[in-house]
Structure 1
Amino acid sequence: MIKSIIKGIALVLLVSTAVSCSSDFLDDPKPKDSISPEIVFGSTEGATSFLSGILRLQRSTLINDEASGLHSILFARSVKGGDLIQKQIWFGADYDYLVYLSTGTRSKFSWRLPYKIIDQVNNFIKGVEESEKISKEDKDALLGQALALRGYYYFQLAIEFGDAYQSNQNIAFPPIYIKPTSSPNPFSTKEEFFNRIVTDLEEASSKLGNNRINKSYINKQVAQAFLAQVYQYMGKWDLAKKNANEAYGGNVLKVLNAEEYTKGFDSMGATEWLWALPQSADQSVYYKSHPHAMMDHVAVAYHGTFINDDFVKHFSKTDVRNLFSNFYEKPTGDWQEYVTAKFKFTFEADLPVIRYPELVLIEAEAEYHLGNEGKSKELIDAIRQNRDTQAKATNVNGTSLLEVILLERRKELYGECGVEWFDAKRLLRGITRTGNHRTRVSLPAQDKRFQLVIPQEELDARK
């Protein structure tokens, strides 16, 4: 196991392919743009510092305030559904479905960030595998995290640029890279792409243990959570059930804390958080692509996101998640009528990526598809009655039960990970906005707007 971590990682580990360099920066005080692999991978601590840099890349700004970090990819999905309403501000084009250009910000960023991380991961894997200074045990812990990251970001590319796993459109999928290279690989097929994702994540899960430095790092449970999401997307329900259950530990009540739901979603120390992007005063993304900055209408921030009135109606008055108000005293039906107090913005607010309730709900859906409706209801009611002590037991069956599960996912996870859009895509459902939306949209199932256009810069690099 990793015993310690070097704090204050050098910037070069974030932006250079360190394993391709040979000069020893300790022998020369002049600034360098890289560090030799012998130093980086000469110890577990050095390799961990490189890994820390890769993890920090997940919050990096590559273009502008709506193209900054993993959280911006997830929030763009959130505003493409029907539950949130976005001003004509950052993410306004995503909300209005005006981002389908090969030269557009969304396509460029949602391609660049995953591949930037994958490139660094491939360099990291090469360096760790070739190191003669790192023990087998520590190599497994390091490689497991790297493989999990690579699988996760290939999955994000599949979600954004590929057609749904269950669809028969069979469009070309993005290229696959498992070794450092400066030459473009050919586009892949859906089968090849998902084989790569599953292979990486299953191998990661087999290498990792339970320990980690903090919740921004990856352990076995995080890798299993990734697998649960992937198998849910693929419709492999037995595997989705297994991985979701093991990721949260199988004890629903142990991982739920209704009181924390009202605390602002700003601390990765919360009971319900499994994996997060941390922030601190000296390492903040500030306002950039921050769901808190968009959705908090009290703090000095963007005040850019509102809540659809039809969505608000799904929450009982006794549900702790009912944090909606007519903050601006707008008339009924005005698109700015409702805001939420779910997210509290500060420059140090941590960013949630995966919370345990999502995994419980994946398991509930898996049980439904496997024909175990009684168990599915038990799991869904564990969430519902934890959030609302007045909630009655679920008493519907068949497709009506599936609708209850999908609605509960929306109620639990709105603003966090684009769950409504994600579910519509994977289940080959459309999205029809109702109520007080600023922009009405009706997307049929498998509409071409469920995938982004491959950026022109990628096509130009192949000429």
Structure 2
Amino acid sequence: MKKIYKSLVFTMATIALTSCVNDWLDLTPSDSIPSNSAITNYNDAKTALYGMYDGLQGNSTYTQYYAARMFYYGDVRGDDMQARTQGMRSSSCYEMKYTIDDAPNMWNVQYNVLRRANRLIEAVENNKITDAEKNQANVNNIYAQAKSVRALVHFDLVKVYGMPYSFDYGASMGVPIVTTPIDPLNASAIPGRNTVAEVYAQIVKDLTEAIDSKALNVSKSAGDNQGFIDEWAAKALLTRVYIYMGKNQEALDIAKNIIENSPYSLWTKAQYANAWDKNNANHINEMIFELVNSGSDDWADREGIAYLYHEDGYADAICTKSFVDMLAQDPSDVRLDVILPVQLKTDDSGKPTDMYKTYGDNRIFINKFPMGSLGDMRLNNLPILRLSEVYLNAAEAAAKLNDKASTVKYLNEIIKNRTDDTKQLVTESTATLERVLLERRKELVGEGQRFFDAMRNNETITRYTNEDEKGWHYSINKESQVFDRSYFRAILPIPVSETNANPILKAQQNPGY
């Protein structure tokens, strides 16, 4: 077994932030010294910046964020992916039979990242960086990135622990807004919950301030700021936020700006399957923001999403039969090429393996984290924002605005770059919201979005309704077979460790727990 992998080293770091400094690798880790003395100069700020991005994956203690759980939480809770069988790492999220005592948890790691972002923000705002004037543009850029990451984490938190904005226009309980560097392990220090609307207001405030400051780098070529949030990434995230809020005109306007002015381009049909390999020359064309794994000691190792989704890993989660059947209706769709059938078909004695006996030649494994030229699926980067999603955000927003021409324009750009079947292209009469959302499912499967998309659009998730329709699903509780956002387990409970230590949060626990 290889050593576990660590994503602290971003290969673009010195290009994006400085032309001559690599010594941050030798500095004291930014979370190991008190916050009032941790960030006092530009090098400290850079070290803290890398620590903030590293926290988005997680660390050896908190393994519950983008390294794995944020992806499979959004995938297997929907209808397009499932845990392969009981006892998998994704099984609890899939089965949805947890209680307050054993529910999946992302709370602590997300608030830990907020602390890292807030420490950076505080250091800049309180003039703690003594050599800021000599590095003003870079310090301002770090500050804007920290605000963008703070927005991303609050956004993820409120999606997981609060009702969708569209449920009651944000009137229900969201999560505590934290804009100062409190200790996330001290539950009593975390304030009470803000409303969903208040959380979204903070998210939009942070993103718009970061963008309007003009301090974020603006990539002239795709991949210029790989691994860091630049202006295009902040704008792409804002389109997603506005889509969730139902602010469709705002989402459409920003998406249009990205599509027309950014250096990113959609993968073509010929490029699509191989472009997921991060060493492929076309990989960066669509990747507006991804978390970079550039070392051979990434802590996520076999707990990371690549290992969980790969047959040669844990084969933890697979596509559902209903999704595979739906996608296979168009045999020329290149997205079929990133869903693989079982490769190990026979054992050493020549007999069919149990997995092959179950699934045959059906495509089941998501291959968006391929072995490829890397030789190890665990070294893949983690996609957070792609240009394809921006096109789909534009199409969805346009459909909800009844802007048929724009819906056709943006949706067909996706379709024509994914299939040779011209009959799949839409016209103004067929460019419905349902068609947009179907294309979204096809494009973003395995990227942690389906469940959240269904909840914000008030869709019903249907795994199976009777034994004859089970497909590859294993038996789960009746209430988790078919549900919508009124099902109390559609949002997680605040962790019991938090409510036990904080009476304010205890009184604000999500209903049903």
* Greater Cα offset, 243-252 or 421-430: 243-252
Contact 1:264 1:341 in 2 (8 A): no
Amino acid at match of 2:178: Y
State whether structure 2 residue 22 is matched by structure 1 residue 6: yes
Contact 1:161 1:453 in 2 (8 A): yes
State whether structure 2 residue 178 is matched by structure 1 residue 177: yes
Aligned to 1:198: 204
Aligned to 1:254: 265
Aligned to 2:492: 452
| TM-score, structure 2 as length reference | 0.78
Aligned to 1:352: 383
Q: CA deviation at 1:264?
A: 6.8
Distance 2:420 2:365 in 1: 21
Q: CA deviation at 1:280?
A: 2.7
TM-aligned CA distance change 1:251 to 1:155, over 3 Å: closer
TM-aligned CA distance change 1:251 to 1:56, over 3 Å: closer
Superposed, which structure 2 residues align to 1:359-370 within 5 Å?
359-370=390-401
Q: CA deviation at 1:359?
A: 0.7
* Greater Cα offset, 176-185 or 247-256: 247-256
Distance 1:105 1:449 in 2: 10
Aligned to 2:326: 314
Amino acid at match of 1:46: D
Structure 1: runs of 5 or more not aligned: 22-35
Q: CA deviation at 1:445?
A: 3.6
Amino acid at match of 2:228: Y
Aligned to 1:294: 308
Distance 2:435 2:17 in 1: 43
Q: CA deviation at 1:302?
A: 0.7
Aligned to 1:24: none
Contact 1:241 1:363 in 2 (8 A): yes
Amino acid at match of 1:49: T
Question: What is the root-mean-square deviation in Å for CA atoms of aligned residues?
Answer: 2.8
Distance 1:91 1:14 in 2: 32
Contact 1:320 1:387 in 2 (8 A): yes
SS at 1:313's partner residue? Answer: helix
Aligned to 1:127: 123
SS at 1:353's partner residue? Answer: strand
TM-aligned CA distance change 1:380 to 1:285, over 3 Å: farther
- Pick the aligned partner of 1:404 from 430, 435, 444: 435
Aligned to 1:98: 97
Distance 1:105 1:13 in 2: 31
Distance 1:336 1:69 in 2: 31
* Greater Cα offset, 438-447 or 234-243: 438-447
Contact 2:79 2:463 in 1 (8 A): yes
* Greater Cα offset, 168-177 or 220-229: 168-177
Superposed, which structure 2 residues align to 1:5-404 within 5 Å?
5-6=21-22, 9=25, 12-16=28-32, 18-21=34-37, 36-38=38-40, 42-43=41-42, 45-61=43-59, 67=64, 69-87=66-84, 88=86, 89-99=88-98, 101-104=99-102, 106-107=104-105, 110-129=106-125, 130=127, 131-135=129-133, 136-168=136-168, 170-182=171-183, 183-207=189-213, 208-211=216-219, 214-249=225-260, 254-263=265-274, 265-267=276-278, 269-297=283-311, 299=312, 301-315=313-327, 316-323=330-337, 324=339, 326-327=341-342, 328=345, 337-340=362-365, 342-343=367-368, 344-345=370-371, 346=376, 347-392=378-423, 393-395=425-427, 397=429, 401-404=432-435
Q: CA deviation at 1:64?
A: 7.2
SS at 2:492's partner residue? Answer: coil
TM-aligned CA distance change 1:241 to 1:326, over 3 Å: same
- Pick the aligned partner of 1:427 from 457, 469, 490: 457
Q: CA deviation at 1:281?
A: 3.4
Aligned to 1:31: none
SS at 2:494's partner residue? Answer: coil
TM-aligned CA distance change 1:306 to 1:163, over 3 Å: same
* Greater Cα offset, 128-137 or 147-156: 128-137
* Greater Cα offset, 371-380 or 247-256: 247-256
* Greater Cα offset, 164-173 or 214-223: 164-173
- What is the CA deviation profile of residues 85-144 of structure 1, one whole-angstrom value per residue up to 9, with x for unaligned ones? 212211111111134x3333622xx11121001011111111123124213433321111
SS at 1:446's partner residue? Answer: coil
SS at 2:290's partner residue? Answer: strand
* Greater Cα offset, 433-442 or 157-166: 433-442
Distance 1:264 1:354 in 2: 15
Matched residue count: 437
Q: CA deviation at 1:272?
A: 1.3
Contact 1:78 1:420 in 2 (8 A): yes
TM-aligned CA distance change 1:64 to 1:147, over 3 Å: closer
SS at 2:284's partner residue? Answer: coil
TM-aligned CA distance change 1:94 to 1:247, over 3 Å: same
| TM-score, structure 1 as length reference | 0.86
Amino acid at match of 2:22: I
TM-aligned CA distance change 1:81 to 1:353, over 3 Å: same
Contact 1:428 1:446 in 2 (8 A): no
* Greater Cα offset, 346-355 or 263-272: 263-272
Amino acid at match of 2:36: S
Distance 2:446 2:388 in 1: 14
Q: CA deviation at 1:277?
A: 1.2
SS at 1:275's partner residue? Answer: strand
SS at 1:314's partner residue? Answer: helix
Amino acid at match of 2:59: T
TM-aligned CA distance change 1:10 to 1:56, over 3 Å: farther
Distance 2:27 2:101 in 1: 29
Amino acid at match of 2:173: A
Identity %: 23
Contact 1:123 1:180 in 2 (8 A): yes
Amino acid at match of 1:144: A
Distance 1:226 1:261 in 2: 23
